[in-house]
Amino acid sequence: MMFWFQRKKEYFPNHSIAAVTTGQLIPLSEVKDPVFSQRMMGDGIAIIPDGDYIVAPCDGVIKMMYPTLHAFGIENNDGLEILVHIGIDTINLKGEGFKKYVKEGQRVSLGDKVISVNNYQLKNNGIDLTTMMLFPNNKFPLKFICKGKAKKAKTVVATYEVKEKRG
């Protein structure tokens, strides 16, 4: 008799956004770049990463991937937009130290690999790898969890409410 083992899909709460990487959660106000700490690109959270992978924080579609691979945008199934920005001043690296696993327009699921980061190489070049998760359109009221340790695709970092339309 053969047994087929399938990985059990873990439960993740509706209207929740997960951490894109493993690391220490911090509020945006503690990010060492005023563009982020003063929320010029939107509200959100930041993670000081321990891991080498950036994953999809929810089910959705990759709406934008910067050619330098330092940032991407994803829109979830409710229309919530998330901008993930990896590191500070990483645009200047012109893609060095990053590898992408997805392309614009691709549908992804929570936890799918989006980008890998060569943390060793970038840290040795003095790069601050603090990764920001920004919500530029604030389509829904958001609540952020900005402290503690995060596990990629497992720790809830933001929740939101969807108001039902009544006809």
DSSP string, 72-95: EEEEETTS-EEEEEESSSGGGGTT
Tokens 């929320």 belong to: 39
Distances (CA, A) of 105 to 8, 60, 96, 146, 148: 27, 10, 23, 29, 33
Which residue among the candidates 18, 46, 47, 85 is catalytic per the annotation? 85
Is-contact 143 160, C-beta < 8 A?
Answer: yes
Q: Which SS3 state, helix, strand or coil, does residue 41 take?
A: coil
Computed on alpha carbons and rounded to an integer, the radius of gyration of the chain in Å comes to 16
62's CB contacts (< 8 A; 6+ apart) are 72, 73, 74, 102, 103, 104, 105, 106, 108, 114
The pLDDT value recorded for residue 128 is 96
Confidence band (pLDDT; 50, 70, 90) for 149?
very high
Give the domains, in start order, of the chain with CATH numbers. Answer: 26-160 (2.70.70.10)
Q: State pLDDT tens for residues 76-87.
A: 999 999 999 999
Q: Does the annotation mark 85 as catalytic?
A: yes
Name the least confident of 63-67, 136-140, 157-161: 136-140
pTM of the model: 0.90
Backbone phi and psi for residue 34, each to the nearest 5 degrees, phi listed first = -60, -25
Q: State pLDDT tens for residues 28-45.
A: 999 999 999 999 999 999
In the chain, the amino acid numbered 36 is F
Confidence band (pLDDT; 50, 70, 90) for 7?
very low
Q: Where are the alpha helices (DSSP H) in 20-165?
A: 34-37, 119-124
Confidence band (pLDDT; 50, 70, 90) for 165?
low
In the chain, the amino acid numbered 114 is V
Q: State pLDDT tens for residues 114-143.
A: 999 999 888 888 999 999 999 998 789 999
